[in-house]
Amino acid sequence: MNPKVDFFFNKAKKWQEEYRELRTIVIDCGLKEELKWGCPCYTNNNNNIVLIHGFKDYCALLFMQGALLKDAKGILIQQTKNVQAARQIRFTNLHEIIKLKTTIKAYIKEAIKIDNAGLKIELKKTKEFTMPEEFKQALIKTPKLKSAFETLTPGRQRGYLLYFSSAKQSKTREARIKKHLKQILNGKGIDD
């Protein structure tokens, strides 16, 4: 156990027992415990394998390359349709975790084997994501915006494209684009 990660478990107002049990299970599988994105993250040869996180209605184990797992029990969840590689196992109480302990360990060990084999999900390229017409026009009208957008990391580009495209109405897409112009010009991602 990494003492730097203790703060996450100590500050938790919800899911404390569940977090403790998940932590014990994951560490028993021989992974290294680190703190990443404000959550306990467990690594194998410096590669992220699984992390523990919680939400209002559930806590979860997030497998970074979960889409590669066989999921014989059918318990892995794709958080949204846009999540390509990661998959979660969600829990709403300690009993669920204890009941699935053997399965959880088997999934973690499979994830370690996948990592050791060097397997990764082939992520969609940024150009494969839909670019709304309103944003295409903004890039044409403002060359500086086009240049700034092209210098963003692929993940930041995808974040904007997903956010802009998710609006159903053209005026909403235009408003979102206008709101984020300065952020793009400053080289920032949508959540920076």
Note the pLDDT tens digit of each residue in 47-100.
999 999 999 999 999 999 999 999 999 999 999 888 999 999 999 999 999 999
Q: Which residues contact 26 (CB under 8 A, 6 or more apart)?
A: 33, 40, 42, 50, 52, 61, 108
Q: Let me know whether 98 and 130 are in one domain.
A: no
- The CA distance from 40 to 23, in Å, is 8
On whether residue 10 sits in a domain, the answer given is: yes
**Phi, psi at 79, each rounded to 5°:** -60, -45
- Name the burial class of residue 13, with classes exposed (0-12), middle (13-18) and buried (19+) by CB atoms within 10 angstroms of its CB: exposed
Q: Let me know whether 156 and 69 are in one domain.
A: no
Q: Let me know whether 104 and 19 are in one domain.
A: yes
Count how many domains the chain has. Answer: 2
**Phi, psi at 61, each rounded to 5°:** -100, 125
On whether residue 131 sits in a domain, the answer given is: yes
Last residue of a domain, one of 116, 148, 169: 116
The pLDDT, as a whole number, for residue 67 is 97
41 pLDDT above the threshold of 90? yes
The pTM assigned to this predicted structure is 0.80
On whether residue 95 sits in a domain, the answer given is: yes
Q: Which helix (H) or strand (E) holds 51?
A: strand 47-54
Helix, strand, coil shares, percent, the chain, to 5: 50, 15, 35
Q: Let me know whether 90 and 146 are in one domain.
A: no
Q: Let me know whether 101 and 171 are in one domain.
A: no
Residues recorded for the chain: 192
On whether residue 61 sits in a domain, the answer given is: yes
> Which of 116, 107, 106, 62 lies closest to 85 in space, CA to CA?
62
Residue 181 domain boundaries = 126-185
Q: Let me know whether 53 and 8 are in one domain.
A: yes
Q: Let me know whether 110 and 48 are in one domain.
A: yes
